Amino acid sequence: MTPAKLDLSPLRRAAAWRPAEYAFWLLPVAAFFLFPKSLALLSQIAITALFCLSLDLILGYAGIVSLGHAAFFGLGAYAAGLMAKYGWGDPLLGLAGAAVMAAAAGFLTSFLVLRGTDLTRLMVTLGVSMMLYEAANKLTDFTGGVDGLQGVDIQPVLGMFSFDLYGKTAYWYSVAILFVMFWLARRLVHSPFGLSLRGIRQNVGRMPAIGAPVNARLVAAYTIGAAYAGIAGALLTQTTQFVSLDVMAFSRSAELLLILVLGGTGSLYGALIGTMVFMAAHHFLSDINPQYWQFWLGAALVLIVLFARDGIMGLLRKLSTRARTSS
Amino acid sequence: MKLTKTLTAAVFALGAALSAQAAEPLKIGLVLPMTGPFAAYGKQIEHGVKLYLERNGDTVAGRKVELIVKDDAPGTAGDVSKRLAQELVVKDNVDILAGFCLTPSAFAVAPLATEAKKPMIIMNAATSAITTKSNYIVRTSMTLPQITAPIATWAAKNGIKKVFTVVADYGPGHDAEGQFKKTFLAAGGEITGEVRVPVRNPDFAPYLQKVKDTKPDAVFIFVPAGEAGIGFMKGFQERGLAQAGIKVIATGDLLDEEVLDAIGDPALGVISSFHYSEAHKSPENLAYVAAYTKAYPKDRPNFMSAGGYDGMHLIAEVLKKTGGDASGDKFIEAAKGMKWTSPRGPVSIDPATRDIVQTVYIRKVTKVGGKLQNVEFDQVNEFKDPGKQ
């Protein structure tokens, strides 16, 4: 008996890095030199991008809609914050702790999420995040409640780079973690596992017929997404050295969904580009007009959805095919 | 264009008398929620700051004041406030950080003020411990224990022996409950019961029935200003607690001028303790209210705008004292012990804690000229924050 030979070359071809991608990752380096005084904003863009990537993994790839993803973000933020408060201030250790904590919560709640279809999933995810929010609000002695968690003392990254006023360390640290996590996510979605997730999203009825365990795959994807969100939350805690109850707020989950749709679901770069565009727009508009900026942001979002159906990534893809066919 | 002209004029006028260094603009970064659920607070504080500059000129110790407002909506997200404050320091090079409406934003920014050695003026956030988080913090608003203790003392002295407490179930609610109980029990009062209600959309009916059954002399209520307060007062009226002889006592933020009209007549007769009322009788406040109403006819002056106004007053007076020097250590040294007569009455900065010392008034909601007002009838002079003792 010879084992059946699988031709994996198309998979490998799809997984190869393209020149445009290398160029994309030069952006954070360029941004550092172009906007040396906006590193605080740039770090938060990187962190939100990682958070958005985590939602993309579960929504864009596994097709699980969630309105409560901030629950895992918040869990990670509190895990890292509490670890640092009680003497475990090493940043990388904090990330690991946050990832484990969020993954565990993701794994446990994934069974609830599996039980329904889209609408029930929206409700279940929202419910879970509301419960965690109220729990964090109630446990004032532990989390600081509405006042926020203080005394978060973060040690220097790798014992060498301490967090500074200008946010240089915070920026490189956030970007480095984003890159590593992105690289891992990229490997994941191009793996047979990632393909099976896409298959599940496209036709859930067919996947068992070709021998893919749908539920196990969804549980795994949801858990991984939660871990990613936890790491993003931990990064936010470590770079701001504070945790506010707002990390678990519904508005954070909703805004994240908006960013992902804006960027384009089901493409890792969509999550990154959506975050960059949204947060930059938010920043500039609110600087110009601190009171009514939301109007302009809303107008911009409506226009983008009208003219770029699959988000910014969809638009880019359309433009590139048009350029290719015309040449 | 107009701005450039005024600026040029100011520079020319001062050029002769002052050194080039002193004529540098004084940049103040205001971190406030300008959108979202607390937008009304941010707006009021900004009004206060701007009104001060309008009335007293926008040049302080030879330096033209430049305000940079950053929207830290929702106001409860420390990370957002911290990022904006960091940008103000690093990018906009502000001399002073100010604003800070809610406690998480003040807590999150405090370490930054220490690191950057910038004066940080708290214009609202009321948790007692805030000023202990950085030596560069000065507060011009109030602290929660500071406005809670006087109502407990007053109640115990005025025939209220038994009180039922109803507070919102979150940090400030717990603090108010703790301070009230502490002061009231020490004064010989009795707490007949206590409940904590959800912060959002609480249904007061079951709690009010419970209150009615235990027959206290008064209910002490602390909920976030706005919807919840309105709901409580309406329920209180409907269930006939007032007829049963039960009084309502509260801290004044429940009855601030912005929400008083929305509560309407059910608020009549409620007794509260607070540091600012639009109806405060003093020449300073009369002039202040007139100027405020002229500048912002749609809004009523309240404690938020007073916090902003006094914050700007403090900045201006300190700079006069230091000769235009706003560097952190000099500013704070000069601010300590500063005394002035604010629209709210006499205030000073406690040299030991950098927190505000002020008169706290006991007021009753009364109709004055067809408008609901908190009319002051008793007061505690030079009251320090009891939360730090």
- pLDDT of B16 above 50: no
H helix intervals, chain A:
9-15, 19-34, 39-55, 70-85, 91-114, 118-138, 140-143, 168-189, 192-202, 214-240, 250-263, 268-288, 293-307, 311-326
Contact status of B108 with chain A (Cβ, < 8 Å): yes
Q: Which chain B residues are closer than 8 Å to A291 by Cβ?
A: 34-35, 39, 43, 71
Contact status of A141 with chain B (Cβ, < 8 Å): no
Contact status of B115 with chain A (Cβ, < 8 Å): yes
Contact status of B50 with chain A (Cβ, < 8 Å): no
Distance CA A41, CA A273 (A): 15
pLDDT tens digit sequence for A261-314 = 999 998 899 999 999 999 999 999 888 888 888 898 888 888 887 887 788 888
Burial tier of B263 (Cβ tally within 10 Å: 0-12, 13-18, 19+): buried
- pLDDT of B336 above 90: yes
Three-point CA angle B203, B207, B210, nearest 5°: 155
- pLDDT of B9 above 90: no
Mean pLDDT of all residues in B62-88: 93
Q: Which chain B residues are closer than 8 Å to A254 by Cβ?
A: none
One domain, residues B24 and B65: yes
Give the gyration radius of chain A's Cα atoms. Answer: 20
Contact status of B71 with chain A (Cβ, < 8 Å): yes
Place of tokens 């602290």: B143
Burial tier of A322 (Cβ tally within 10 Å: 0-12, 13-18, 19+): exposed
Number of structural domains found in chain B: 2
Domain of residue B267, CATH code: 3.40.50.2300
- pLDDT of B22 above 60: no
Q: Which chain B residues are closer than 8 Å to A241 by Cβ?
A: 111
Residue predicted with more confidence, A209 or B275? B275
One domain, residues B73 and B202: no
Q: Which chain A residues are closer than 8 Å to B106 by Cβ?
A: none
Contact A137 B108 (CB under 8 A): no
Phi, psi of B199 (to 5 degrees): -65, -40
Reading the block at residue A314, the tokens are: 């969809």
Residue predicted with more confidence, A206 or B3? A206
**Chain B closest-CA separation from residue A103 CA (Å):** 23
**Closest by Cα among A159, A155, A139 to A147:** A139
Residue predicted with more confidence, B340 or B264? B340
Residue predicted with more confidence, B238 or B30? B30
Closest residue in chain A to residue B32, using alpha carbons only: A290
Question: Could you give the percent of chain A with pLDDT greater than 70?
Answer: 98
Distance CA A231, CA A237 (A): 10
Give the model's pLDDT for residue A4: 65
CA B106 to chain centre: 13
Give the model's confidence band at A2: pLDDT under 50 very low, under 70 low, under 90 confident, else very high: low
Check whether the bond before B74 is cis (ω within 30° of 0).
yes
Q: Please report, for chain B, how many H helices and E strands are present, in that order.
A: 12, 15
One domain, residues B76 and B15: yes
pLDDT tens digit sequence for A144-202 = 888 899 889 899 999 889 998 889 999 999 999 999 999 999 999 999 899 899 898 88
**Chain A closest-CA separation from residue B294 CA (Å):** 21
Mean pLDDT of all residues in A208-230: 93
Nearest to A290 among B70, B104, B171 (CB): B70
Residue predicted with more confidence, A292 or B313? B313
Contact B91 A145 (CB under 8 A): no
Contact status of B74 with chain A (Cβ, < 8 Å): yes
Give the model's confidence band at A55: pLDDT under 50 very low, under 70 low, under 90 confident, else very high: very high
Give the model's pLDDT for residue A327: 66
Q: Which chain A residues are closer than 8 Å to B222 by Cβ?
A: none
- pLDDT of B18 above 50: no
pLDDT tens digit sequence for B256-287 = 898 898 888 889 999 999 999 999 999 999 99
Distance CA A77, CA A244 (A): 9
Give the model's confidence band at B33: pLDDT under 50 very low, under 70 low, under 90 confident, else very high: very high
Burial tier of B187 (Cβ tally within 10 Å: 0-12, 13-18, 19+): middle
Question: Could you give the percent of chain B with pLDDT greater than 90?
Answer: 76
**Closest by Cα among A253, A222, A229, A201 to A110:** A222
One domain, residues B173 and B264: yes
Give the model's pLDDT for residue A3: 60
Residues 6+ apart with CB under 8 A from B280: B343, B344, B345, B361, B376
Q: Which domain holds residue B232?
A: 145-274+361-388
Mean pLDDT of all residues in B79-84: 94
- pLDDT of B3 above 80: no
Mean pLDDT of all residues in A243-256: 93
- pLDDT of B21 above 70: no
Contact status of B86 with chain A (Cβ, < 8 Å): yes
Q: Which chain A residues are closer than 8 Å to B127 by Cβ?
A: 147
pTM of this prediction?
A: 0.88
Contact status of A145 with chain B (Cβ, < 8 Å): yes
Give the model's pLDDT for residue B5: 56
Three-point CA angle B48, B53, B57, nearest 5°: 160
Give the model's pLDDT for residue B7: 54
Give the model's pLDDT for residue B37: 83
One domain, residues B237 and B371: yes
pLDDT tens digit sequence for B43-63 = 999 999 999 999 999 999 999
Contact between A294 and A86 under an 8 Å Cβ cutoff? The reply is no
Place of tokens 């609000």: A137
Q: Compute, in degrees rounded to 10, the torsion defined by CA atoms B179, B181, B182, B185.
A: 150
Mean pLDDT of all residues in A317-322: 88
One domain, residues B267 and B290: no
Q: What is the mean pLDDT of chain B?
A: 91
**Chain A closest-CA separation from residue B201 CA (Å):** 14
- DSSP structure class, residue A5: P
Distance CA B61, CA B80 (A): 32
Give the model's pLDDT for residue B230: 84
Beta bridge partners of residue B371, listed in sequence order: B368
One domain, residues B348 and B370: no
- pLDDT of B194 above 70: yes
Best residue in B34, B45, B79 to probe A by mutation, most A CBs within 10 Å?
A: B79
Mean pLDDT of all residues in A122-148: 91
Contact A137 B115 (CB under 8 A): no
- pLDDT of A66 above 90: yes
| C-alpha distances in Å from residue B244, one per residue of B203, B247, B251, B272 | 21, 9, 22, 20
Give the model's confidence band at B4: pLDDT under 50 very low, under 70 low, under 90 confident, else very high: low
One domain, residues B134 and B150: no
Contact status of A247 with chain B (Cβ, < 8 Å): yes
Contact status of B107 with chain A (Cβ, < 8 Å): yes
One domain, residues B381 and B239: yes
Contact status of A293 with chain B (Cβ, < 8 Å): yes
Distance CA A18, CA A268 (A): 14
Give the model's pLDDT for residue B387: 87
- pLDDT of A8 above 90: no
| C-alpha distances in Å from residue A79, one per residue of A56, A127, A142, B370 | 23, 21, 11, 54
Phi, psi of B91 (to 5 degrees): -95, -50
**Closest by Cα among B112, B114, B184, B133 to B154:** B184
- Classify the C-alpha dihedral B131-A140-A108-A63 as positive or negative: negative
Mean pLDDT of all residues in A234-247: 94
One domain, residues B176 and B38: no
Q: Which chain A residues are closer than 8 Å to B169 by Cβ?
A: 137-138
A positions 186-245 inside 8 Å of B (CB) = 236, 240-245
Question: Could you give the percent of chain B with pLDDT greater than 70?
Answer: 94
Mean pLDDT of all residues in B217-241: 87
- DSSP structure class, residue A17: P
One domain, residues B215 and B302: no
One domain, residues B8 and B149: no
